[in-house]
Amino acid sequence: MDLLHPGWRKEVVEQQFLPKMTVVHNFPHTGRTERPGPAVLEIKGLYIAGDWTGDEELLVDAAVASAKRAALHILKRDRVLV
Protein backbone atom coordinates (compact mmCIF):
# COMPACT_ATOMS: atom_id res chain seq x y z
CA MET A 1 0.00 0.00 0.00
CA ASP A 2 2.83 2.40 0.74
CA LEU A 3 4.02 2.09 -2.86
CA LEU A 4 0.53 2.41 -4.37
CA HIS A 5 -0.88 5.08 -2.07
CA PRO A 6 1.84 6.99 -0.20
CA GLY A 7 0.47 8.72 2.87
CA TRP A 8 -2.47 6.34 3.37
CA ARG A 9 -1.50 5.67 6.99
CA LYS A 10 -2.29 9.24 8.06
CA GLU A 11 -5.86 8.73 6.76
CA VAL A 12 -6.55 5.69 8.98
CA VAL A 13 -9.45 6.41 11.33
CA GLU A 14 -9.59 3.06 13.10
CA GLN A 15 -7.35 0.03 13.09
CA GLN A 16 -7.86 -3.52 14.35
CA PHE A 17 -5.50 -6.43 14.83
CA LEU A 18 -7.35 -9.73 14.62
CA PRO A 19 -4.74 -12.52 14.78
CA LYS A 20 -7.29 -15.26 15.53
CA MET A 21 -9.95 -14.18 13.06
CA THR A 22 -11.40 -17.08 11.09
CA VAL A 23 -11.39 -16.55 7.35
CA VAL A 24 -14.36 -18.04 5.56
CA HIS A 25 -14.54 -18.34 1.83
CA ASN A 26 -16.56 -20.30 -0.66
CA PHE A 27 -14.45 -23.20 -1.81
CA PRO A 28 -14.93 -25.77 -4.58
CA HIS A 29 -17.03 -28.59 -3.17
CA THR A 30 -19.17 -31.42 -4.44
CA GLY A 31 -22.45 -29.71 -3.51
CA ARG A 32 -21.67 -26.69 -5.68
CA THR A 33 -23.57 -26.98 -8.94
CA GLU A 34 -22.22 -23.85 -10.62
CA ARG A 35 -19.80 -20.99 -10.12
CA PRO A 36 -21.48 -17.66 -9.40
CA GLY A 37 -20.94 -14.84 -11.90
CA PRO A 38 -19.46 -12.92 -13.38
CA ALA A 39 -22.78 -11.86 -14.88
CA VAL A 40 -25.93 -11.92 -12.77
CA LEU A 41 -28.38 -13.16 -15.36
CA GLU A 42 -31.45 -11.88 -13.50
CA ILE A 43 -30.19 -8.26 -13.56
CA LYS A 44 -28.88 -6.92 -16.88
CA GLY A 45 -25.59 -5.07 -16.48
CA LEU A 46 -24.81 -6.43 -12.99
CA TYR A 47 -21.52 -8.28 -12.55
CA ILE A 48 -19.96 -9.75 -9.44
CA ALA A 49 -16.41 -10.23 -8.26
CA GLY A 50 -14.96 -11.31 -4.96
CA ASP A 51 -13.19 -14.04 -3.06
CA TRP A 52 -16.41 -16.08 -2.95
CA THR A 53 -16.84 -16.16 -6.75
CA GLY A 54 -13.63 -17.96 -7.62
CA ASP A 55 -13.28 -21.10 -9.70
CA GLU A 56 -10.41 -22.82 -7.97
CA GLU A 57 -8.75 -19.73 -6.49
CA LEU A 58 -8.95 -18.66 -2.86
CA LEU A 59 -9.15 -15.26 -1.13
CA VAL A 60 -7.22 -12.48 -2.91
CA ASP A 61 -6.41 -14.73 -5.89
CA ALA A 62 -10.13 -15.41 -6.31
CA ALA A 63 -11.04 -11.74 -5.90
CA VAL A 64 -8.56 -10.62 -8.55
CA ALA A 65 -9.36 -13.49 -10.93
CA SER A 66 -13.10 -12.92 -10.63
CA ALA A 67 -12.66 -9.17 -11.19
CA LYS A 68 -10.71 -9.95 -14.36
CA ARG A 69 -13.44 -12.36 -15.52
CA ALA A 70 -16.10 -9.71 -14.87
CA ALA A 71 -14.11 -7.03 -16.73
CA LEU A 72 -13.53 -9.34 -19.71
CA HIS A 73 -17.22 -10.21 -19.74
CA ILE A 74 -18.14 -6.51 -19.82
CA LEU A 75 -15.62 -5.78 -22.58
CA LYS A 76 -16.89 -8.70 -24.65
CA ARG A 77 -20.49 -7.49 -24.18
CA ASP A 78 -19.56 -3.94 -25.15
CA ARG A 79 -17.79 -5.12 -28.32
CA VAL A 80 -20.97 -6.91 -29.37
CA LEU A 81 -23.02 -3.75 -28.75
CA VAL A 82 -20.70 -1.48 -30.77
Q: Give the model confidence (pLDDT) of 17-44 as tens digits.
A: 888 876 655 556 666 677 677 888 888 8
Q: For the chain, how long is the longest CA-to-CA vector?
A: 50
In a domain, 75, yes or no: yes
The structural domain count of the chain equals: 1
In a domain, 12, yes or no: no
Q: CA separation (Å) from 37 to 20, 53, 61, 78?
A: 31, 7, 16, 17
In a domain, 28, yes or no: yes
pLDDT of residue 63: 82
* pTM metric for this prediction: 0.53
In a domain, 62, yes or no: yes
In a domain, 51, yes or no: yes
In a domain, 73, yes or no: yes
Containing domain of residue 69, as a range?
22-81
In a domain, 39, yes or no: yes
pLDDT of residue 72: 92
